[in-house]
Amino acid sequence: MALWGDTKLFLCILVITFGCTVILAEIPKDCCLKVANVTIERGRIGDYRRQVAGAGCRISAAVLVTRHQRTLCVPDNEPWVQELMKHVDQLKAWCKKRKNTGKRCSGVNRQ
Ligand SMILES: *[C@@H]1O[C@H](CO)[C@@H](O)[C@H](O)[C@H]1NC(C)=O
């Protein structure tokens, strides 16, 4: 019957929606809880990501990832951090284009 079909569809949507909420809620396990304005040599950074306040995390931050996979929480609005992120973007693009596995690109996220 059409009515039962609708009910099943509704249940499906409910499960999908709820399932997604649970999955999304579980992702930000390693949120930066605070940031430190500690400058780091740009040569040591191989990747970064942005953390946005409200998307499961309490504060906004730039998360720097060193070539040895250690993370560092820094303020994303500091000029030196923005310069660093620009630099890392260029480095990543450079390494990706050349499929470079040499020293200069070791620990760099080539995606
Ligand atoms: C953060 O560090 C940079 C570089 O040392 C400095 O220029 C800037 O004033 C600092 N910002 C704050 C809010 O302390």
**71 CA to middle of ligand 1, Å?**
19
- Which residue, by CA, sits nearest to atom 7 of ligand 1? 80
Per the CB < 8 A criterion, the answer to whether 63 and 72 are in contact is: yes
Ligand 1 site-directed mutation target among 72, 80, 84, most atoms within 8 Å of CB: 80
Q: Which residues are CB-contacts of 46 (< 8 A; sequence separation ≥ 6)?
A: 65, 66, 67, 88, 91, 106, 107, 108, 109
pLDDT tens sequence across 30-84:
899 999 999 999 999 999 999 999 988 999 999 999 999 999 999 999 999 999 9
Whether 26 has a pLDDT exceeding 60, the answer reads no
Euclidean distance between CA atoms 62 and 96, whole angstroms: 22
Q: Is 79 in the pocket of ligand 1 (CB under 6 A)?
A: no
Q: Which residue has the higher pLDDT, 19 or 98?
A: 98
